[in-house]
Every structure is written in C-alpha cells, then in structure tokens.
Amino acid sequence: MGTVKGKAGILSLLRRFAIWKTNVSWYVVVVVSPIVVAVVAIVLHMVFGGTAPEFPLLKDDQWMILVAAGVFLFPLTATAFQEEVGFRGFALPLIQKRWGPLVGTVILGTFFGAWLLPEFLNENSTQYAMGGLSFYPWFILTEISWSIIMTWVFNNTKGSALISGWLFHGLFNLWTLVLLTNAMLGEEFPAFDTGLLIMNALVLTLAAIGLILVTKGRLDYDKYIEMK
C-alpha cells in the first residue's frame, strides 16, 4: 500500500481496521453464519450417508475453544489478521473499483485459495489433512464463496476490514475446526472427513449464489460508495 499510494494509502488501510461501529446485526452475521453453514452441511452429510464429527472440543474441552479463538484472532498468531491486511485491507477496495464487486471478489477469492497451495503439499499442514490436492478445487470454491459473503459484509460496514476480514476470517477458521473436524489443539491433526468438507463447500456456494441473486450481483457495493 505504501508503494502504491504512499503514506495516505497506509493510513487508509489502517483506518479500515479501526472501523468497528456498525449495526450489531453485522456482528451477528459474522459470528453465526459459519456455524449455520457448518450445521447445515453436517445434517446434509448425514442424510446422504455420512457420519457426523465427534465434536471433541465441544464435548470434552470447551475451554480450549476459547484458547483456539485467541490463537485465531490474536494479531501475532492469527494468519487471518496477517492475510486480511492484504486481502480486505488493501486489495478489496481497489479490485472492486476496477473490476466491480462480483468479478473483483471472484478474482480475490481465487487468489485467497491459491495463496495456500503450498500447504496442500505439506504433510504436516491442516490443508493436507483436508485431503491434500484432491480437495484443492473444493478449497478454491470455498474461499471464493466466503469472499463473496465477506465483500457483502465489507460493503455494509463502511469498508471495515476489522469486521469483514480479520474477525470473519478468524471465526470461520475457528468454527471449521470445532464443528467440521475431530481435531484437538496440541495434537496431530487426524485425517479430516473430506466428504463433509465438500458438503460444506457446496452449502457455502449455494449461500453465496443466493446472496448474488438477492443483491443482483452488486453485493451492496453502492452502499459502500454512499458511506465513503
């Protein structure tokens, strides 16, 4: 940002992480939507013959959920914060202006997924436990769909990278871990149920398509322009 727009650009980016005053309903969307998507995916997965996760964090160690939330959200440990400085803090305002909200978001979401490609080759990574490269196309679809929803939240919260990026990204990472896997913090990741993760990707994609239809592909970008 400093290279592109100098000191003013850096200040503009930082301000996006200081925007927290908004209608409480947007905080509800950010907190609840990952849970709803995951629960719907679990139910459909079971309907089609799959099994539900064992929910070890919910059943046996609820305090560790708070620890995980801290890890996912604390700036020094949260990849969500570090990535969102670039994604929602820097890139999204520029890419919406150049390519429009929908095309721009698809481009950003594709890059969002491509950014983590090396992790799908790393046998010790969370992404490898998801299914490795066989799951990678579904991962791209997941990240594009989340990006569409995140852009919608961004445009309705005065361009808040804090709410639509850092917080939202950290929370869907958290609830994916808690609700869609049998992982325990501090232990080696078990093999994830790839079928369940694919179902989650499909549910999320349908939600994103619905949002595109409701907003006529604009993702409420006009509201963002009005609030600037």
5 pLDDT band, cuts 50/70/90, is: low
Give the model's pLDDT for residue 2. 45
Q: Is the pLDDT of residue 17 over 70?
A: yes
Q: What is the mean pLDDT of residues 144-169?
A: 97
The tokens describing 122, both together, are 């790393």
7 pLDDT band, cuts 50/70/90, is: low
Distance between CA 116 and CA 42 in Å, rounded? 25
Give the model's pLDDT for residue 76. 67
Whole-number Cα distances in Å, 169 to 8, 69, 88, 112, 150? 26, 11, 10, 11, 9
Give the model's pLDDT for residue 126. 85
pLDDT digits (tens, 9 = 90+) for 43-95: 999 999 999 999 998 988 788 888 888 888 887 667 889 899 999 999 999 99
Please report how many Cα atoms fall inside a 13 Å half-sphere around the Cα of residue 173, on the Cβ side.
19
Whole-number Cα distances in Å, 19 to 72, 95, 110, 161, 227? 20, 20, 26, 8, 12
- % of the chain beyond a pLDDT of 70: 95
* 84-88, 105-109, 127-131: the lowest-pLDDT one: 127-131
